């Protein structure tokens, strides 16, 4: 149960995704049921079993960064910088002109892999041209925390700074951890979010060898099909999202626009398998129940669940079972559920943040984005997945689920701000 009185609200949003490079374009695409999945353009996939992904279309890092900074940063850090710049501008926060203004502001980034593009490029240089030809920025391009470091330096965020690396649950952990820092009084404002930019040979081949990816290469836009009986794996994607979390009284005092409140945060471990979820969903259900308890609400109070919904055979049926365990059969059959990964693809460590932005916008607009490509119901996935078309409905409370390799389970709960 909640033990601290300090409340945490969301006052800014930023998103850079395969379906849109801003929050507005991202949200419009989700509500329209548009897919961002296409044939991979960043490398030659001729000899690859998987040739599709969710790439950022027309993303130009120099809109946000100098040409020199772009050269020294891995793509994952560039994309997170962009989403954070959007979110801080949306929140009306600028500490750059006052040396001490950011003392109570910090950042937590979630990232599953880090600079995987730089890993591949630097290894190629080392083995073909020699180690002395590698970039002096190699290490800072690779390490996952550096996205937070760049943001902290550029925007004068002098408070807590951290990085969560919990696979596909990473940025959900980042949001929850940032909220906890505010709750306990360690900060007033936190940038919280996540990112991944993994669309290169090394990562695509690795996930393909793990038999985790869809091979529906002839139908890119139909490849990610969560909860559908014909699903065959997830579709990798790149992207980032950032949320500005703020102590409620601090936000009210400066007249900030408040999107929603961060009401609950729950975690658990499956303690079962390095990649597969625990059958029956008991591990994931415990994370959901922990978030519900932290929020101080009843399971039936949840109006919408943004599901982890990866489009893998194991995840979707397990998550369905977990929702039934956590909410109870009656509430589980009543709640609206959708997987926005059906449109964005799976942004790995960035997924929790991308889906948190969608969750907050669902509360704001009273519109639930659909699960597209849902055409052949799976008997083991028998709940309401908002198939194929967005649904207008009053939404006061949302749960967002994120699960990661290694048995990491995270649930976040957002609510309408009262």
Catalytic residue IDs: 168, 308, 346
- Coil, helix or strand for 115? coil
| Residue 55 and residue 65 in contact, taking contact as beta carbons nearer than 8 Å | no
Nearest CA-CA partner of 264 in 298, 290, 242: 290
- The phi and psi torsions of 55 (rounded to 5 degrees) equal -100, 155
The H or E element that residue 332 is part of is helix 329-334
Collect all residues with Cβ–Cβ distance below 8 Å to 373 and sequence separation of at least 6: 35, 221, 222, 223, 224, 225, 226, 228, 342, 388
**Regarding beta strands 391-392 and 367-368, do their DSSP bridges make them parallel or antiparallel, or are they unpaired?**
antiparallel
- How far apart, in whole angstroms, are the C-alpha atoms of residue 178 and residue 182? 7
- C-beta of residue 218 within 8 angstroms of C-beta of residue 64: no
Q: Is 56 left (phi over 0), alpha (psi -120 to 50) or beta?
A: beta
Kindly tell me the sign of the dihedral angle through the C-alpha atoms of 300, 304, 305, 309: positive
Residue 267, token pair as written in the block:
């975690």
Kind and range of the H or E element at 120? helix 116-129
Pick the closest to residue 150 from 114, 203, 97, 100 (CA basis): 114
Element (H, E) at 284: helix 282-295
- Which residue shows structure tokens 């039936």? 300
Q: Which has the closest alpha carbon to 90: 168, 12, 4, 176?
A: 12
User: Is the four-CA dihedral 141, 78, 30, 37 of positive or negative sign?
Assistant: negative
């Amino acid at each position: 149960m909640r033990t601290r009185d300090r409340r945490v609200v969301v006052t800014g949003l930023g998103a850079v995704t395969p379906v849109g490079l801003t929050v507005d374009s991202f949200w419009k695409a989700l509500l329209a049921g548009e897919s961002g999945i296409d044939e991979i353009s960043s490398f030659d996939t001729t000899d690859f079993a998987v040739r599709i992904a969710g790439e950022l279309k027309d993303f130009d890092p120099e809109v946000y960064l100098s040409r020199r900074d772009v050269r020294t940063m891995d793509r994952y850090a560039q994309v997170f910088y962009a989403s954070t710049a959007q979110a801080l501008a949306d929140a009306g926060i600028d500490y750059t002109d006052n040396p001490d203004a950011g003392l109570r502001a910090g950042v937590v980034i979630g990232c599953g892999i880090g600079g995987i593009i730089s890993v591949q490029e630097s290894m190629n240089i080392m083995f073909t041209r020699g180690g002395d030809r590698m970039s002096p920025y190699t290490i800072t391009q690779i390490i996952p925390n550096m996205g937070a470091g760049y943001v902290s330096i550029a925007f004068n965020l002098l408070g807590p700074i951290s990085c969560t690396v919990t696979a596909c649950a990473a940025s959900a952990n980042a949001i929850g951890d940032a909220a906890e820092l505010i709750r306990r009084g360690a900060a007033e404002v936190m940038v919280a979010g996540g990112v991944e930019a993994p669309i290169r040979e090394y990562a695509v081949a690795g996930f393909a060898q793990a038999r985790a990816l869809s091979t529906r290469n002839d139908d890119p836009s139909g490849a990610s099909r969560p909860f559908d009986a014909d699903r065959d794996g997830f579709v990798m994607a790149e992207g980032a999202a950032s949320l500005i979390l703020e102590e409620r009284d601090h936000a009210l005092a400066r007249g900030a626009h408040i999107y929603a409140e961060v009401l609950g945060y729950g975690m658990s471990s499956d303690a079962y398998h390095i990649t597969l979820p625990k059958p029956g969903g008991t591990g994931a259900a415990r994370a959901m129940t922990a978030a519900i308890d932290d929020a101080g609400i009843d399971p039936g109070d949840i109006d919408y669940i943004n599901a982890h919904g990866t489009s893998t055979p194991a995840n979707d049926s397990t998550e369905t079972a977990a929702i039934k365990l956590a909410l109870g059969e009656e509430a589980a059959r009543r709640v609206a559920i959708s997987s926005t990964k059906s449109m964005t693809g799976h942004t790995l460590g960035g997924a929790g943040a991308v889906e948190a932005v969608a969750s907050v916008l669902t509360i704001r607009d009273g519109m639930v984005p659909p699960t597209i490509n849902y055409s052949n119901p799976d008997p083991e996935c028998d709940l309401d997945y908002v198939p194929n078309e967005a649904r207008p409905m009053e939404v006061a409370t949302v749960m967002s689920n994120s699960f990661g390799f290694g048995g990491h389970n995270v649930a976040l709960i957002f609510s309408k701000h009262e």
